Structure 1
């Protein structure tokens, strides 16, 4: 019997150390922070979001043998996420996040073996129609992962969706990597600034549409919700939900995970985006990454609003 469709993420996973500060210190300055301890973050947020909706979910990003990777495995066991690539000797890196009262975040990242994709393992994956594969701009910008990862992504079978979350790293991705990936992308997602920047890079919205002709383009607009640009050229706005912002870390990944879950469930794009908007609003009211609401919590939020 065929397995059900699965969400597979290639996004690098890190261990996050969120630090709440009144302000980011000036060079040479100092500030006192409040820490809630290390949490699994990076590319794991979108994985845990989909898993918490009850769908089959797999991690195809490299983990190691050290304590950071062990913490990730504990989260995976709790969430029911399968690791589908081999581990390497070493450990994944960390991301220290300075969180200001407004919710604005500043990142300091250390690098580990997460930047070394296991291409042979990826090539052995038996993908089926209805699967979705997720990748990030960070991995497409990194010198050691960009070429092998993009080469594999371009071999994805027809019927397998490709999600591209460019993030703030899109300016560092060379055209030789970016343009073929855009042409294969099924869902391109980013916040207001990120989508504006890729449009500016390509020259116009029409050129973005020409570069990514198959893609549903999602521009997340914070409390206002999101804008959808369908492959047909139709533009839609889906209203957001009012919320008290505590921490915006992982809100975009939560939005993406719930949106894709809705599409995998067979919802139309507007209904899927409305669920995603509700989930993201709930996520920013919680501290830390990988804090996505579960399916029943999203149902309750939608029932209220």
Structure 2
């Protein structure tokens, strides 16, 4: 017998079945990650031997890969270069059905990052920027979202010359979300502290849907002066739930925009303007990965919004997808499931307490 949540999902899916096929358009950077496992990161002038090396396309590719897994069209509006790293990116795009609508550069290759993971689980990054970071204010002039589309903006696009293109786009999008026929989802990443004040102000004024992990949410709250108790503990246990609720509430009120604050297996806290904070419980899983499933969560959230789901239901499905992605990690990278698998987990293991 279907649970009450499954019945509601089934009805909503039937209602959405005849709607137009919307797309998720990402303005984020895409590069190649070269992941190397070492006992410890060597000191300057030192030497280390890698226990294993794996190359994987990173950045906003992981967002778009999750989108296609949910049966939604994925478009990449960032810059791709010409060279061996760009060839890897284009190959994976073709395999996953991701369409590149952005600019191509013939005078520079796409960038790459060395990711050194030590035995304590710490990661050290060394980045070489390429064509993806060589944009300007015209970079995203190609982006013309249709009604029902979702535009994804990642924090990795906010630190270099391409940020001027993001700024142009959000100014074109305006400050009234209700006047747009499309939605904007922004995940700031850990680079938020490096974003200049003018760009951050323009992003806030655009009032996108913000999707952050709890560390990013605290950084954003500090920059915006949101009234968050600095002594509130954000460790699992103790006052974790209360601290997350307070953080989401205070930051959401300051942003005057929808906000998602993710907390791994605990799920996410969600607030819409004028509403209460809602805890969307996660799905317990054994951590077998070396990389966060945040990209999978954000990509699935974008895809579900493009399919017409409410924000809370989109986050609930994203929680399930992220849990599955962690369980099936390959070379330390979580692998996002498809739509049917995510929905099946939600139907089978609704983590919320039953209510009469």
Same-fold call, TM cutoff 0.5: yes
Tell me the CA shift for residue 153 of structure 1: 2.5
Structure 2 stretches lacking a partner, 5+ long: 1-18, 175-179, 228-248, 350-356
Of 212, 225, 229, 2:255 maps to 212
**Alpha-carbon spacing, 1:222–1:12, altered in 2? closer, same or farther (3 Å):** same
| 1:98 and 2:116 are equivalent in the alignment | yes
Q: Is the 8 A contact 1:6 1:131 kept in 2?
A: yes
Unaligned ranges ≥5, structure 1: none
2:128 to 86, 110, 113: 110
Greater Rg over alpha carbons, structure: 2
1:88 paired with 2:72, answer no
Q: Equivalent residue for 1:54?
A: 71
Measured in 2, the distance between the counterparts of 1:88 and 1:105 equals 30
Relative distance call for 1:112 and 1:300 in structure 2 (3 A) is same
Shift in Å, 1:19 = 1.8
Distance, in Å, in 2 between the alignment partners of 1:246 and 1:29 is 30
CA distance in 2, matches of 1:128, 1:45: 23
CA shift, 1:44, in A, is 0.8
Where does residue 4 of structure 1 map in the other structure?
A: 21
Secondary structure of the 1:201 match is helix
Q: Deviations over 1:265-293 (max 9, x none)?
A: 22233322121112112222303447211
Deviation at 1:7, TM superposition (A): 0.5
Describe the shift of the 1:102–1:269 C-alpha distance in structure 2 as closer, same or farther (beyond 3 A): farther
Please say if residues 289 and 334 of structure 2, whose CA atoms lie closer than 8 Å, have aligned partners that are also in contact.
no
**Paired position in structure 2 for 1:40:** 57
Does 2:189 align with 1:171? Answer: no
- The change in CA–CA distance for 1:190 and 1:77 in structure 2 (over 3 A counts) is same
2:173 matched residue in structure 1: 156
Give 1:195's match in structure 2, choosing from 197, 217, 238.
217
How many aligned residue pairs are there? 302
CA RMSD of aligned residues (A): 2.4
Q: CA deviation at 1:30?
A: 4.2
Shift of the 203–18 alpha-carbon distance from structure 1 to 2, 3 Å rule, reads same
